[in-house]
A and B are shown apart, each in its own frame.
Chain A
Amino acid sequence: EIVLTQSPGTLSLSPGQRASLSCRASQTVNSNSLAWFQQKPGQAPGLLIYAASSRAAGIPDRFAGSGSGTDFILTISRLEPEDFAVYYCQQYGTSPWTFGQGTKVEIK
């Protein structure tokens, strides 16, 4: 199975700052089938980005996904208070679909 490694484990930033989250795959992600999810405490995950760089419906443009092959990035251009959460990458190009271990973005 494809193993996804996210870094850093925790990112401590202030509102208004830029966040950059990394996701590295153990092998090429087919068709750039890489998604990013946001999860807040007590809530189900929500889809942010699919196909590596396409924003899901209703997602603000401060969220941007990039990358291809084995290296992917989620960038949040200017952190809003509601963006402090845990973010997961997930590949869905090869069965079994797999998740990274998550990056927590916390308020500094």
Chain B
Amino acid sequence: QVELVESGGGVVQPGTSLRLSCAASGFFFSNYGMHWVRQAPGKGLECLAVIWYDGSKYYADSVKGRFIISRDNSKDTLYLQMNSLRGDDTAVYYCARGDDLLSLDYWGQGTLVTVSS
């Protein structure tokens, strides 16, 4: 069965960096686009970044230039390198599998990132 497990969240100070990981299993990882979606406390969902199966990437304006999405197909793992973190980056970060027909059909459980001094 498909499983996505995020890790790497925690409490960090403003201006610092953090790397999130998403370990995938149960499907051919390299065949799918993979997404990071975040949800600030009490707020809605925001698509942050996507890396397609061909390696092309797209970022939301809110994180462009600060966050980097990458993948290691040999390890079935998705990453999000987050730099220059700000208070408004505080959120639960989800990874999700993307499909052109099904949209985001599988999600991880999320990992909480808190940016605070």
Contact = CB atoms under 8 A, between A and B. Distances in A.
A35 to B, nearest CB: 4
A75 B109 CA distance: 27
Main secondary structure of the interface of B (DSSP, over half): strand
B101 to A, nearest CB: 6
Interface string B101-116: 1111101111000000
B3 to A, nearest CB: 12
A35 B104 contact: yes
B46 A99 contact: yes
A68 interface: no
B104 to A, nearest CB: 7
A12 interface: no
By size class, the interface of chain A is: 20 to 34
Contact of A88 (B44, B94, B102): B44
Most chain A CB within a 10 A radius of its CB, from B98, B103, B105: B103
Contact of B60 (A46, A56, A96): A96
A99 B44 CA distance: 8
B102 A90 contact: no
B77 to A, nearest CB: 18
Interface in A2-58: 33, 35, 37, 39, 44-47, 50-51, 56
Nearest to B58: A95
A45 B103 contact: no
A44 B3 CA distance: 13
Q: Which 6 A-B pairs have the closest CB atoms?
A: A35-B103, A44-B107, A99-B45, A92-B103, A97-B47, A50-B102
